[in-house]
Structure 1
Amino acid sequence: MTGQSLAPTLTRRRPAFSLGRFLERSGVFSWLMVGPPVAFMAALVGYPFFYGIWLSLQNRPVAKEGVFVGLENYISAWHDPVFWQVVANTFVYTIIATILKMVGGLGLALVMNQDFRFKNLTRALLLLPFIVPTVLSTIAWQWILDPAFSVINWALITTGIANPGPSWLGNPYLAMGSLIVVNVWRGLPFYAITLLAGLQTISPELYEAATIDGASTWERFRYVTLPLLMPVIFIVTMFSVIFTFADFQLIYVLTRGGPANATHVFATYAFDIAMNGGQFGQGAAIALTMVPPLALIILAMAIYMRAPKS
């Protein structure tokens, strides 16, 4: 009996490796989903970015070997009066265009959220400025703003308001204003459609409860719509700031930075120095100077959004 009670101890066998169970782990599956996009971004964004940093530390003329000069390109840009004009132009262009797109896009979204005839057709037509290629739409605006063949100038001359019509792209102040108008026209659909999607996620019951409590139209917008829409407003504003701050095609096609550098922004001025001036290192340095202020703007917006609201 004693011998029978001492049963042999069975050795526990480790279960065989299963690829299916391994892939089903949450951590492994998450990395498999995130890995390809990260590798793609590292190849197409990370490598050019770090190469641009290395290029900005060199004196690199066209068709010549680069010579390491450290921060000399940044110091040269710091003492360049045109560079500071470019900084001012970029901030003016970005701030005014973003505010106008935010206000106009929110207004269009509120209108598009109402029930009216041909609502779906109107929403589809609203996307036209955004889906037309930038260069094509900008060439059309170049014709609209042309001093000799401008439709706007023809209307001003015909009505007797102005004769001759103004040079929209030849006057420094009018040129910047014209660029802002074109940028707003092109960016409004992005704001409007995105904010419209956010408005449609708000429950109608909240508006009904606010109406029963005696809230006016403005109070319903201020205390119901706006707070619930703020996360969407933050995301769309952040994207708009990034795209506007680094805008190139629209400005380069319409004015190429002129007249007298009045419409040069970081992207166009860096391109002009690198490609037309043949100084790749200096152009890379100017282009990279937009990164710190852009990062600070986004960080400030994120901190403001996360701060508790009273």
Structure 2
Amino acid sequence: MAVIAEPVTKPVSRLHFMLDRREVLENILIAPAIIYVLLLVGLPLLLAMYYSVSAYTIYNPTWQFVGLANFTQIIDNPNFLQTLGNTFIFTFGSQLLGLVLGKFGAFLLLRPFPGRKIVRALIILPFAVPVALATIAWQWMFDSLYSVINWTLIAASIVTREDAPNWLGNPYLAMLCVIIINAWRFFPFAIVIFLAGITAIPQDIIDAATVDGAGFWRRNYQIILPMILPIVAIGLIFGIVFTFTDLSIVFLLTMGGPVGATSVLGFAGFQTGIVSGDVSHGAAISLFMLPVLLVVVIITLRFIRRREI
């Protein structure tokens, strides 16, 4: 009579048992993201705080504690106050324009028309094109001699050749140019946000409002916009953070000119800390972004929480 041997169960390793626990597995999976943030965000922030309270320069790399003297000197500089104001104008002006363009673009793409799928695919190009190439193209469009905008205005007899605007030579027009370019880069992102929010609204709500006699504007501003406001606010946070710390458009288009009219905090910190070699003052300028962005994020998140309640 044959005897059937019972299968021998292998002992479960301690590591396998730990990975079966949800809290352990969650910590392991999120650890790379935490390490990434600490190395690429936390460490530079600590270095900036370290240099901002010192007299460190590339010409005199010895560390000497000076306290808040760098911040006091920066605040007393009228050029810094102009740069701070330019940063607010550049950030909120471009975000407002980008949101307006994104909203109307989203409503346009929701309507059926020939080639809508192609337009939806092409609308993302401003967000995908490298900023250097896009800014150089815009620079030719705003050129004082070869501007296609000026040539169009002259051909339409709106302005004369003598009165054609010098887009990058006038302080107000130069700021308008950098705002337009940044809004052009941001509005595809805004379109995606609005499309996601509008399509998530149940169609029954829109149909009920239409039956009750609500027209396009009432449906838009009393029903749709309040319902998608938390989603728009989250996108606005990302837009403000990226724009407030951005220096690429100003660096490539105007170099902060004319006469500092388009200089922003990111560009000023780069020019002071990297180009001029005054690392301590450059770090102090860059740290001015932190409290401003922190206040904006806190206010926006509290607004979203209230809307959800």
Indicate the residue corresponding to 1:175 in structure 2.
Answer: 174
* 1:236 and 2:230 are equivalent in the alignment: no
Change (3 A) 1:275 1:18: closer
Indicate the residue corresponding to 1:297 in structure 2.
Answer: 296
Indicate the residue corresponding to 2:48 in structure 1.
Answer: 52
Q: 2:16 aligns with which of 20, 38, 47?
A: 20
For residues 106 and 17 of structure 2, the distance between their equivalents in structure 1, rounded to whole angstroms, comes to: 47
For residues 104 and 158 of structure 1, the distance between their equivalents in structure 2, rounded to whole angstroms, comes to: 27
Q: 2:57 aligns with which of 51, 55, 61?
A: 61
For residues 166 and 51 of structure 1, the distance between their equivalents in structure 2, rounded to whole angstroms, comes to: 44
Identical columns (%): 36
Q: 2:131 aligns with which of 92, 116, 134?
A: 134
The equivalences for 1:1-310 within 5 A come to: 18-65=14-61, 66-160=63-157, 161-164=159-162, 165-307=164-306
For residues 124 and 308 of structure 1, the distance between their equivalents in structure 2, rounded to whole angstroms, comes to: 32
Shift of 1:16: 6.5
Q: Which amino acid aligns with 2:46?
A: F
Q: Over residues 54-93 of structure 1, what are the superposed CA-to-partner deviations in whole Å (9 max), with x where a residue is unaligned?
A: 0111112224223221211111101100000011111111
Q: Which moved more, 1:200-209 or 1:77-86?
A: 200-209
Q: Which amino acid aligns with 1:219?
A: R
Shift of 1:271: 0.9
Say whether the 8 Å CA contact 2:230–2:307 is kept in structure 1: no
Q: Which amino acid aligns with 1:56?
A: S
Shift of 1:158: 3.2
For residues 222 and 25 of structure 1, the distance between their equivalents in structure 2, rounded to whole angstroms, comes to: 48
TM value normalised by structure 2? 0.90
Structure 2 residue matching 1:59: 3-state secondary structure: coil
Q: Which amino acid aligns with 1:30?
A: E
Say whether the 8 Å CA contact 1:130–1:187 is kept in structure 2: yes
Change (3 A) 1:265 1:215: same
Shift of 1:123: 0.6
TM value normalised by structure 1? 0.90
Alignment size in residue pairs = 296
Shift of 1:170: 0.9
Structure 2 unaligned residues grouped into runs of 5+: 1-10
Structure 1 unaligned residues grouped into runs of 5+: 1-14
* Rg comparison, structure with higher value: 1
Q: CA RMSD for the aligned pairs? A: 1.8
Structure 2 residue matching 1:58: 3-state secondary structure: coil
Indicate the residue corresponding to 2:3 in structure 1.
Answer: none
Q: Which moved more, 1:109-118 or 1:251-260?
A: 109-118
For residues 238 and 307 of structure 1, the distance between their equivalents in structure 2, rounded to whole angstroms, comes to: 16
Shift of 1:267: 0.3
For residues 211 and 170 of structure 1, the distance between their equivalents in structure 2, rounded to whole angstroms, comes to: 50
For residues 49 and 272 of structure 2, the distance between their equivalents in structure 1, rounded to whole angstroms, comes to: 16
Q: Which moved more, 1:108-117 or 1:125-134?
A: 108-117
Change (3 A) 1:166 1:212: closer
Q: Over residues 136-192 of structure 1, what are the superposed CA-to-partner deviations in whole Å (9 max), with x where a residue is unaligned?
A: 000011111110111112223334413232211111111001111111111111100
Shift of 1:18: 4.3
Say whether the 8 Å CA contact 1:156–1:163 is kept in structure 2: no
Q: Which amino acid aligns with 1:118?
A: G
Q: Over residues 275-297 of structure 1, what are the superposed CA-to-partner deviations in whole Å (9 max), with x where a residue is unaligned?
A: 23221110110011111011111
Structure 1 residue matching 2:257: 3-state secondary structure: coil
For residues 143 and 120 of structure 1, the distance between their equivalents in structure 2, rounded to whole angstroms, comes to: 30
For residues 139 and 244 of structure 2, the distance between their equivalents in structure 1, rounded to whole angstroms, comes to: 21
